[in-house]
Structure 1
Amino acid sequence: MKHTYLGLAIALFLSLDGFCQQHSEQKHDKYVWPADELVKKKLAHWQDVKFGLLMHWGTYSQRGIVESWSLCPEDEGWCERKGPTADNWYDYKKGYEMLQTTFNPVKFNPNRWAEAAQKAGMKYVIFTTKHHDGFCMFDTKQTDYKITSSKSPFSSNPRSNVTNEILQAFRGQNFMVGTYFSKPDWHNEHYWKPYFPPKDRNVNYNPKKYPDEWAKFKDFTYNQIQELMTDYGPVDILWLDGGWVRPFSSIDSSVSWQRTIPFDQDIDMARIAGMARQKQPGLLVVDRTVSGEFENYVTPEQQIPDHYMPIPWETCLTMGDSWSYVPKENFKSARRLVQTLVDVVAKNGNMLLNIAPGPDGEWHEEAYQRLAQIGNWLQVNGESIYNTKPLAPYRQEKWAFTSNGKATYASYLPSEAESQLPAEITLPVVPTKALTLLGSNQPLKWKKSGSSVVVTIPAKVQQQLAGQPAWVFKLT
């Protein structure tokens, strides 16, 4: 993931490249529907659960800095180095990798996370087993750069294989579970070959000129994913990041960062996916930004498509401003998060919300508070979210529409200035029988007005449902 502070995000959205990238992630002409019946079944189930948790966690949390990207020698905002060795990349990388020797998250308790996420209404989890820096949050046999190495103080903890502990804890709450895995690895000598200085995020040699080096890296990647698919119980989703590791023929020249990819970096996804699905039948494979048979759903990052998309998709976004832990985070309000979820679901998507654990192995307490607030809303209004399909016109001004086949739901997304429903509201759809407001048992009076209805909201109901992030009308 790219580190995105609010100001950077605004600048990105206002830039032409940002527009082109957003546009490319809304295109669906290259989407390939899976042929495997087990994959299709799991994909349909995933589309029904709607709301998931993403966690970025690694040694970088000790410094409260961007995940991995400070190692990348690019002149971009999210790659900025800070600290006493920032002026020398080699010294900085050495110090960064020494964080392994002090990473000791003694408050790690994945059961608390899983319980909080379940009460929030989340239904699936994606955990970063390895980010671009190459530090492994699982007990890989392919490298010693891992949390279970004797170099890491947490290795003596009985829960040191944190990926295994997290997947078990969330399975215990009936979650679908997924493993985030970075295809590039900036620690591995066969990706950033020590003979050459790295110039950017890409492999630092031409794989066609050094095919043996690239073959070794492909085997390393295959073996690590094989471990994750073999040794960690049932896995539902393999979520692959680092989309510049891709066949050269798959580059989309309309996307700025893809135009800078200098080499063919074909990792042999057919081999990886074939092995993974042999170990995990029905596995969803998400090779992010690489359109084709190995991108079972698309993943716009920190953005929401401006229209309904007829393919499976998921917006991944941060609860605060950062993907990784920062000591003082600027968390989005529960109202904004709920309204984002409603908007996403009405456009046929899922919402994957990132929370970053800190160096001690805990979340900010404010993150728990946000989850509880979201859960309170979903406990009342969840029937308009789960197991629903978008309904035309999908989104219309402040309205969002879904249906479960038995009922239609019209969700009203109020502005910040609206604390309660007005005494009368115009609903742009007409009920065939009954009209109710979720959270209230009081019947509503309405009268038809053209293709809409004018609904009277009793004062008692206005007060009862005051302050909600969204109000949901149920039409049957």
Structure 2
Amino acid sequence: MKLKPTIYLITIFAYSLGLTRLHAQQHHMSASYQAPTDPAVKQKIAEWQDLKFGLFMHWGPYSQWGVVESWSICPEDEGWTERRGPHSETYEGYKKAYENLQTTFNPVKFNPEKWVAAAKNAGMKYMVFTTKHHDGFSMFDTKQTDYKITDGKTPFSSNPRANITKEIFNAFQKEDFMVGAYFSKADWHNTDYWWPYFPPKDRNVNYDPAKYPERWNKFKDFTFNQIEELMTGYGKVDILWLDGGWVRPRNTIDTAIDWQRGIKFEQDIDMGKIAAMGRKHQPGLIMVDRTVTGPFENYTTPEQEVPDQPLSNPWETCMTMGNSWSYVPDDKYKSSAEIISLLIKVVSRGGNLLMNIGPGPDGDWDPAVYERLNGVGDWMKINGEGIYNSVSVAPYSKGNVYLTKNKDKPVIYAFLSGEDETLQWPSSVDIPLGNIKLVKQVRLLGSSQKLNWKKEGDGIRVMIPQGLSKSVLTSAACFKVTY
């Protein structure tokens, strides 16, 4: 049975406005799912599902202003599109100043190996990087436009590591991460998407592609060519993570979703052709045409949300570590304990967590990010066996106890989750086990202390030894139940 996301999704971190909370609109999941048929794609998805924890990065010249990525040049009257600063009085003046950020973007502290080391230590297994957001600035050496990191107008172009996407991909590929290319199908800099003859009215194409097919075909070719560059010149790419869900065939619009009702024109860019090309160069490529129901949305992407129950298809929660997708000075980052609790909840529902970090204008992460990741890594080194290579198992959770099941062995992991940096032990822990009748062994990961348990209702009650109950552990604990 297909689950309706409006019923089964719960928001665990709400959007709010303010100088340090600069979110774009929420992306509701597609109401249905079409499973891929290509055996190589199915195999790659299965491998990706075992990884559980990934790194997302939104980065571009906009980091210099500490503003929301791209959306402040979108002429819509929404909280996330609000213009700020000395150039905000007129739209044209602001857009010109925004695009002129290219001429001052020089992230000289860029060192992707430092990011790889921190992500690997934290237990992350895959990475998705924004090669191009909606504003059209390419963080790779494309031949299709001069609005890019490697153009002579960009100061960083003289750096030997100027092709940022290639450097990031190379660094993560060397450490055996799955690598994903985020790419926005919309391009607000491209004159074949926002034609200067007409003023842009909203996020959508500002002319009718059916009335001007030659112009639209030029944009389709531009998009195809940029994606082919990414599929051919950047090593092994496992995921093509496509955003800009309003660029879609009109017959895929879900009129129950407000922003999709605003799509007035057919914006078909021939995803079949793009997918065939991508998989020719990258066999088994996972396509994530997010929010567009059909054969090219190989997994769904609830944004800033966690399903209340497992979904019937592969899925990934994408969520910010801070309050914003892109860099904001003095952003408030989730604690290590909050990230661990979030990861446990996501994995207990059978999903993956893609945690976003926004690099700063100097090319590095906030020092707080490294501290948070280090705390997560310390916990994962002890408890990671209950996260990786797992599947959801009913009843999924009870109170603050969350379950996972090893996909290959008769083992259930029960996580006792706390929301704080320390976990105070109760005198006993009730672990629901559904239909499992015979338990052979229960132990606490990271501890050699013997545990006693007894049958209780639909599960077991684990007695916490006095010495352990007086101790304080970090964030969350994991019981390994062999049956």
Alpha-carbon separation, structure 2, partners of 1:248 and 1:280: 28
Aligned to 2:136: 134
Pair 1:423-2:408 in alignment: no
Query: After the TM superposition, which residues 227-376 of structure 1 pair with which residues of structure 2 at under 5 Å, given as runs?
Result: 227-376=229-378
After superposition, what is the alpha-carbon deviation per residue over 1:299-329, rounded to whole angstroms, capped at 9, x for unaligned? 0111111111121000000001000000111
How far apart are 1:462 and its partner, in Å?
A: 3.3
Query: After the TM superposition, which residues 27-426 of structure 1 pair with which residues of structure 2 at under 5 Å, given as runs?
Result: 27=31, 30-404=32-406, 405-416=409-420, 419-426=423-430
Aligned to 2:445: 438
Q: SS at 2:305's partner residue?
A: coil
Q: SS at 2:54's partner residue?
A: strand
Alpha-carbon separation, structure 2, partners of 1:392 and 1:10: 37
Q: Is the 8 A contact 2:107 2:361 kept in 1?
A: yes
Q: SS at 1:393's partner residue?
A: coil
Give the aligned residue type for 1:432.
Answer: V
Pair 1:472-2:482 in alignment: no
TM-score by length of 2: 0.92
Aligned to 1:15: none
Q: Is the 8 A contact 2:54 2:127 kept in 1?
A: yes
How far apart are 1:427 and its partner, in Å?
A: 2.3
Give the aligned residue type for 1:354.
Answer: N
Aligned to 2:460: 453
Q: Which runs of 5+ in 1 are unaligned?
A: 12-17
Give the aligned residue type for 2:246.
Answer: W
Alpha-carbon separation, structure 2, partners of 1:214 and 1:283: 26
Q: Is the 8 A contact 1:310 1:348 kept in 2?
A: no
How far apart are 1:406 and its partner, in Å?
A: 3.0
Q: SS at 2:338's partner residue?
A: helix
Aligned to 2:8: none
How far apart are 1:432 and its partner, in Å?
A: 1.4
Q: Is the 8 A contact 2:420 2:475 kept in 1?
A: no
Q: Structure 1 residues 295 and 445, CA, compared in 2 at 3 Å: closer, same or farther?
A: same
Give the aligned residue type for 1:422.
Answer: P
Alpha-carbon separation, structure 2, partners of 1:7 and 1:427: 30
Give the aligned residue type for 1:165.
Answer: E
Alpha-carbon separation, structure 1, partners of 2:385 and 2:206: 50
Q: SS at 2:15's partner residue?
A: helix
Alpha-carbon separation, structure 2, partners of 1:192 and 1:431: 64
Greater mean alpha carbon deviation, residues 407-416 or residues 126-135: 407-416
Alpha-carbon separation, structure 1, partners of 2:438 and 2:377: 28
Alpha-carbon separation, structure 2, partners of 1:222 and 1:418: 50
How far apart are 1:131 and its partner, in Å?
A: 0.3
Alpha-carbon separation, structure 2, partners of 1:418 and 1:143: 51
How far apart are 1:395 and its partner, in Å?
A: 2.2
How far apart are 1:172 and its partner, in Å?
A: 1.5
Q: SS at 2:392's partner residue?
A: strand
Give the aligned residue type for 1:475.
Answer: V
Alpha-carbon separation, structure 2, partners of 1:457 and 1:10: 44
Q: SS at 1:391's partner residue?
A: coil
Alpha-carbon separation, structure 2, partners of 1:127 and 1:141: 19
Q: Structure 1 residues 58 and 431, CA, compared in 2 at 3 Å: closer, same or farther?
A: farther
Alpha-carbon separation, structure 2, partners of 1:147 and 1:450: 61
How far apart are 1:415 and its partner, in Å?
A: 4.7
Give the aligned residue type for 2:480.
Answer: K
The percent of aligned pairs where both chains have the same amino acid is 57
TM-score by length of 1: 0.94
Compute the RMSD of aligned alpha carbons: 1.9
How far apart are 1:10 and its partner, in Å?
A: 9.2
After superposition, what is the alpha-carbon deviation per residue over 1:269-293, rounded to whole angstroms, capped at 9, x for unaligned? 0010110100100000100100110
Alpha-carbon separation, structure 1, partners of 2:421 and 2:68: 34
In the comparison of the two structures, how many residue pairs are matched? 461
Q: SS at 1:107's partner residue?
A: coil
How far apart are 1:123 and its partner, in Å?
A: 0.3
Give the aligned residue type for 1:218.
Answer: K
Q: Structure 1 residues 412 and 8, CA, compared in 2 at 3 Å: closer, same or farther?
A: same
